[in-house]
Structure 1
Amino acid sequence: MDGRQEPKPENPLTAPAATPAPLRVKTLKCSGCGNSLTLRGMERTESVACEACGSVIDLTDENLRIISTFQSRVRYKPIIPLGSRGKLRGDLFEVIGYLRRAVTVEGVDYEWSEYLLFNPYKGFRWLSEYNGHWNFLKSTNQLPRTKGDGVKYLDKTFLHFQTAESRVVYVLGEFYWKVQAGESCRFSDYIAPPLILSKEQTARETDWSIGEYLEPESLRSAFQLTSPMPARIGVAPNQPSPYAGKTAPLWKLIGYFFLAALFIHLTLFFLAQNKRVFETRFTFEQKDKGKAFVTEVFELSGRPSNVVVRSAAAPLSNYWVYLNMALISEDGRAYDFGREISYYSGTEDGTAWSEGGFSDEATLPAIPAGKYYLRIEPDFPAPRINYQVEVYRDVPKWSFFFMALGALCLLPILLIWRVARFEGKRWAESDHPGTLWKRIPESAPEQEKEKTNPEGKESR
């Protein structure tokens, strides 16, 4: 934070390949209260904060001058105690400093914790924690390139998340710069989950750091902490989406189901009888109104399948006809249904209009094989109606295919809704709420190897 030049680590060519030996430590007495202080960063440490009195001591001064004093009403307790050692990304680090920062937004203070880690061969790293979310950060001197409202870094696009002014409210332990109470910097965060790129500016310089989201339990295991980690609240800026990487496999699976459904439907389509088994014509007059007519007997063969009754009526100009019908088997089983055919037309304000039609059809599903007849009872206001009836057996229907297709679409719709809900929570805390779809970042790999991030100035 605040652009401090990090001391360069020892030549990595001379560093042993095995895990480094325990860090050498040095003790001294606090200039403010006499409390014993332990130094682990050795010559790379420029200041140390006393837990007992809040004094920050300048270690580059031979008289151990007190350069600042934190008069905090709150006694912060680090979740990871100073002196704890843990292996992160294959390297062993020791916690040597604890920093508490705050930012004020619309009159509300938001605070987070930062832990300074040290390895004699790797140098300094940072762990940051806010609302139970953790990031592992390191500095970089490779400057990102501006791209639209984001930046390009290591062939990855990072979208701008927020810009604000932060200040130091509490420190504990060692630091590689002369940290002071109230010191501030302006920072800008850019995200490409699970990565975060931070730019920090002071009057003197600008520094960049790259970080990666860590699962709390992985830290708990790495540092062998016995107490539970704080519960996560909300969605962190670079928290990986639980739905990342699931969209493509889902669409692939849906594609397989679509092809399977299409194959099954086409097979049934070509195997269907689609056979006309009966046809008749009637002429109804007003004297026949209220009377029931029955057709000749016809046979339905094959497996249980649908029966389509198609009907047409004429003349039908500004009239309607309603037919109360029933398909009845020889053993007395009846399938009742009613159909209305109507057609109206005219002219309104010089524009011709029409509605309705001269034909209609009804589908009766899963009718067993056997001998059947139709009973028809007409109702109509016209003086006379000519009526035609056709009965088809085992007619293929596309409606079932489209119903299956609609059911398949429910899964991606649900996934899209969940993605939008998760990303909405993420961006609600940013400088760009309400621009969700434009700002859903591309998914980054779960692991970003440290070797891809060049060494440079430490800014976190």
Structure 2
Amino acid sequence: MDGKSEAIIPPPLPTPTQPQVKAFQCPGCGGALTIRGLEQTESIACGSCGSIIDITDENFRIISTFQSRIKHQTLIPLGSRGKLRGETFEVIGYLRRKINVEGIDYEWSEYLLFNPYKGFRWLSEYNGHWNYIKSTSNTPKPQSSDSLSTVYYLGQPFPHFQTAAAQVSYVLGEFYWRVQVGESSQVSDYISPPLILSRECTEKEVVWSIGEYIEPKTLWEGFQLKTPIPPKIGIAPSQPSPLVAQARGIWKILLIFFLVALFIQALFLLFSANKLVYQDQMAFHLADKEKARVTEVFELTGRPSNVVIKSKATVDNSWIYLNLALINEETGNAYDFGREISYYHGYDGGESWSEGGTSDEAVLSSVPPGRYYLRIEPDAAASSINYSIQVYRDVPSWSFFFMAMGGLAVYPLFYWWRRRTFEYYRWSESDHPMKALSSFVSKADEDD
């Protein structure tokens, strides 16, 4: 040793060996068959004659045979190898299963994948939608002991989607159990997109599996398939809604627009004069019913802006009508308008009621600056009513802000409607279909 440290080079990791395969002839037709799962395979289905062979029997005993009028073409050929989630898997088995709902058969495909180090995985396909499936590491827990309406897996809720009796209708390749055409199990699906939990119950066992929605493009790239990708039909139970990912961006944009509208409104409030330019107390007498009254001249300054005329009257189970005109002293231009103030109250059936009020407000928009006066022609049924008039210049209005808020509310409502429509079509084929929005409208009309 010379006192210098020496780098320790670790030995190279062993290179994983290629999965071994075993070939033999089908005892039914003599066709060549290949076993890829080796010790873990218990049966293999011959695609030529339909024989299902027990691999665990040294004489390769035929368990059963089936005749299929349709020879299904697999989208991913048996023996194909591809990468999923960073692991290499080989397709070793293919089967078709079906359920019957109201006399109609619904079929889907399942592909058995094998990796000697990771074990078995499944790919299921229905109407162009795919799920990547494996056995659960924990048993899901029901929401309550007597109900499976919702189950929890790793703390996440999965509402029940559908329960049906599923039957194997076609098999090809090898499997880790003695599969037979016609074997059935009760399958219950629970969803939390993009995840799906499946509970398969037979006379012998209950098996849980967890699946995740996977885009077909990912599979075609992983298995390097050259065939066209079949189009998707409808909405799959575990298909994630593309609208969910947009929610955060939508609320962010809405918040920005809200803050902008609030800032603009704050500027209106800050720079509006909101100035009282005239006020007076007046009285109406029935004897002076036909007489018009003219106020003193008052000045409206600044830019063209609104004018707010506020009026109050001592009406009590009575009314007064004010025929008003705001007149420019120099040009003679007049803004004519009328306002009624009425207030009634009483008791009916032991309960009090009231209608109307003792005050009113009129808004004239964009009145130019200048010298103005009011002409007032009052009318009432009572013999005498006191009333007051106040005139304000450049009063801040909230109408812009509320119009902006109304406009902003349109898109969230549209977004909610699209998201609900997506979920409506997802759940339409479940055991718990959603009600259409039209049904709520019809019910409201019936209640009216």
The TM-score, its normalising length taken from structure 2, stands at 0.82
Of 402-411 and 353-362, the range deviating more from structure 2: 402-411
Q: Does 1:119 align with 2:119?
A: no
1:384 Cα shift? Answer: 5.5
1:210 Cα shift? Answer: 1.6
Q: Partner of 1:397: helix, strand, or coil?
A: coil
Partner Cα separation in structure 2 for residue 294 and residue 359 of structure 1: 21
Deviations 1:289-342 (A, max 9, x none): 677655443222223332101123445642341525345474455444332222
Q: Does 1:44 align with 2:40?
A: yes
Q: Which blocks of at least 5 consecutive residues in structure 2 are unaligned?
A: 1-11, 437-448
Q: Residue in 2 aligned with 1:185?
A: 185
Q: Does 1:66 align with 2:62?
A: yes
Q: How does 1:147-296 map to 2 (within 5 A)?
A: 147-148=143-144, 149-248=149-248, 250-251=250-251, 253-281=253-281, 283=283, 294-296=294-296
Distance 1:133 1:302, change over 3 A: same
Contact 1:187/1:198, CA 8 A, preserved across alignment: yes
Distance 1:56 1:213, change over 3 A: same
1:179 Cα shift? Answer: 1.3
Q: Residue in 2 aligned with 1:366?
A: 366
Partner Cα separation in structure 2 for residue 332 and residue 133 of structure 1: 76
Partner Cα separation in structure 2 for residue 24 and residue 270 of structure 1: 81
Partner Cα separation in structure 2 for residue 127 and residue 296 of structure 1: 88
Q: Residue in 1 aligned with 2:79?
A: 83
1:376 Cα shift? Answer: 4.0
Contact 1:324/1:337, CA 8 A, preserved across alignment: yes
Contact 1:118/1:125, CA 8 A, preserved across alignment: yes
Deviations 1:98-138 (A, max 9, x none): 11001122322211110111223222211001122110011
Partner Cα separation in structure 2 for residue 318 and residue 80 of structure 1: 86
Contact 1:328/1:375, CA 8 A, preserved across alignment: no
- Determine which of 22, 25, 28 is the counterpart of 2:24: 28
Q: Partner of 1:342: helix, strand, or coil?
A: strand
Distance 1:338 1:225, change over 3 A: farther
Distance 1:16 1:254, change over 3 A: farther
Deviations 1:320-370 (A, max 9, x none): 415253454744554443322223344444555432223211112233333
Distance 1:333 1:30, change over 3 A: farther
1:275 Cα shift? Answer: 0.7
Distance 1:316 1:87, change over 3 A: same
Partner Cα separation in structure 2 for residue 170 and residue 147 of structure 1: 36
Q: Residue in 2 aligned with 1:446?
A: none
1:435 Cα shift? Answer: 9.1
Partner Cα separation in structure 2 for residue 218 and residue 378 of structure 1: 80
Q: Residue in 2 aligned with 1:306?
A: 306
Contact 1:49/1:56, CA 8 A, preserved across alignment: yes
Contact 1:196/1:238, CA 8 A, preserved across alignment: yes
Distance 1:355 1:155, change over 3 A: closer
Contact 2:328/2:370, CA 8 A, preserved across alignment: no
Q: Partner of 1:182: helix, strand, or coil?
A: coil
Contact 2:90/2:115, CA 8 A, preserved across alignment: yes
Distance 1:95 1:192, change over 3 A: same
1:213 Cα shift? Answer: 0.7
Partner Cα separation in structure 1 for residue 115 and residue 152 of structure 2: 29
Q: How does 1:381-396 map to 2 (within 5 A)?
A: 381-382=381-382, 386-396=386-396
Greater than 6 Å deviation, 4+ residue runs: none
Partner Cα separation in structure 2 for residue 351 and residue 181 of structure 1: 76
Q: Residue in 2 aligned with 1:101?
A: 97
Of 303-312 and 141-150, the range deviating more from structure 2: 141-150
Q: Which has the higher contact order (CA 8 A, sep 6+)?
A: 1
What is the RMSD computed on CA atoms of the aligned residues? 3.2
Q: Residue in 1 aligned with 2:419?
A: 419
Deviations 1:177-213 (A, max 9, x none): 2211101122222222211222222222222222111
Q: Partner of 1:104: helix, strand, or coil?
A: strand
Q: Residue in 2 aligned with 1:449?
A: none
1:55 Cα shift? Answer: 1.9
1:84 Cα shift? Answer: 2.3
Q: Partner of 1:416: helix, strand, or coil?
A: helix
Partner Cα separation in structure 2 for residue 348 and residue 157 of structure 1: 54
Distance 1:277 1:27, change over 3 A: same
Contact 2:315/2:343, CA 8 A, preserved across alignment: no
Q: Partner of 2:72: helix, strand, or coil?
A: coil
Contact 1:70/1:169, CA 8 A, preserved across alignment: no
Q: Partner of 1:405: helix, strand, or coil?
A: helix
Contact 1:145/1:153, CA 8 A, preserved across alignment: yes
Distance 1:154 1:289, change over 3 A: same
1:252 Cα shift? Answer: 5.1
Contact 2:191/2:238, CA 8 A, preserved across alignment: yes
The aligned length equals: 421
Task: Give me the identity figure in percent.
Answer: 58
1:237 Cα shift? Answer: 1.9
Distance 1:197 1:16, change over 3 A: farther
Q: Partner of 1:408: helix, strand, or coil?
A: helix
The TM-score, its normalising length taken from structure 1, stands at 0.80
Partner Cα separation in structure 1 for residue 338 and residue 104 of structure 2: 68
Partner Cα separation in structure 2 for residue 90 and residue 269 of structure 1: 60
1:75 Cα shift? Answer: 2.5
Q: Partner of 1:238: helix, strand, or coil?
A: coil
